[in-house]
Amino acid sequence: MLRGINMGDNKYIDKDLKSQIDFARLPKHIAIIMDGNGRWAKKRFLPRNLGHQEGMKRVIEIVETASQLGIEYLTLYAFSTENWKRPKDEIDGLMNILVLFIRRELERLYKNNVRLHILGDISKLPSMPRNEVIKAIDRTKSNSGMILNIALNYGGRDEIIFGIKEILKDIDMGKIDIGDLNPELFSNYLYTKGQPDPDLLIRPSGELRISNFLLYQIAYSEFWFSDILWPDFTRDDLYMAIIDYQKRNRRFGGI
Ligand code: FPP
């Protein structure tokens, strides 16, 4: 996979790539499927959870980079509704990593003026990660910078069904009329209520699928795939994705 020139001189690549970004045309909303932690660990004969731990280190790096670039919304897929099918020790490991991440990085998120928002049903999380998440939402609630959406116990199909149920309740109570239902109104019943749809969806690790992520919101997102495994994903990869995005001609169905 192309990773820019002068691989031996990261500072040079960093500076060079960043200078290629058109700051007047940044994507407002970037979504990332953080994939490849397991394969990263396997390649090194390490347990899968060490791959997730390494992936966690990339989270803070990418969040900080995105927020400093001026990205308004960053959405990270951390745990899907389907991930409950994984072995218990991996699930426990992921929950512990989430707790560790918040304990270690909350103040850094706060100082970066990041506001945390969760996509998904966190009532189903074990109490310790749930309480940490609630604490982090509360700590960052008055921040005015980038919104960091973490998708936790999130599934795109579940989200749509949840939205339909909420709409039916509002129709039942006479709050809205069935005739008023349109795509914009429906988007207000999703976890991303009030947010613009992702402009750019990034999936590292070489997989070319959506995996039940933001199914409604990605109707016109630009996709950027890369072979890099998430624990190897650097800010240069983020810059490259943005530069590539800026070369695209988005028509939204028009000509
Ligand atoms: C997919 O890789 C990744 C996950 C299911 C978990 C993502 C979690 C993190 C990056 C860690 C912490 C996140 C936060 C927000 C603190 P995989 O395990 O499916 O990789 P594989 O396809 O190579 O097996």
Long-range contacts of 13-17 (CB under 8 A, 24+ apart): 13/236, 14/235, 14/236, 14/239, 17/236, 17/239, 17/240, 17/243
Catalytic site residues? Answer: 35, 83
- Rounded Cα distance, 108 and 61, in Å: 11
Rounded to 5°, the CA angle 231-213-226 comes to 40
Question: What's the average pLDDT block by block, 10 residues per block, for the chain (255 residues)?
Answer: 44 74 98 98 98 98 98 98 97 98 98 98 98 98 98 98 97 96 97 98 98 98 98 98 95 88
- Predicted confidence at residue 255, as pLDDT, reads 83
Taking the model in full, what pTM does it have?
A: 0.94
Alpha carbon of 63 to ligand 1 centroid (Å): 16
Task: Please tell me the residue having the least CA distance from ligand 1 atom 7.
Answer: 78
Kindly list the distances between the CA atom of residue 199 and the CA atoms of 32, 73, 97, 214, in Å, as whole numbers in the listed order.
11, 10, 28, 12
Kindly list the distances between the CA atom of residue 128 and the CA atoms of 23, 49, 83, 107, in Å, as whole numbers in the listed order.
40, 18, 18, 19
- Name the residue of 52, 96, 102, 149 whose CB sits within 8 Å of the most ligand 1 atoms, as the mutation to test its pocket: 52
- Predicted confidence at residue 250, as pLDDT, reads 86
Q: How many other CB atoms sit within 10 Å of the CB of residue 113?
A: 13
- DSSP count for the chain of H helices, then E strands: 8, 6
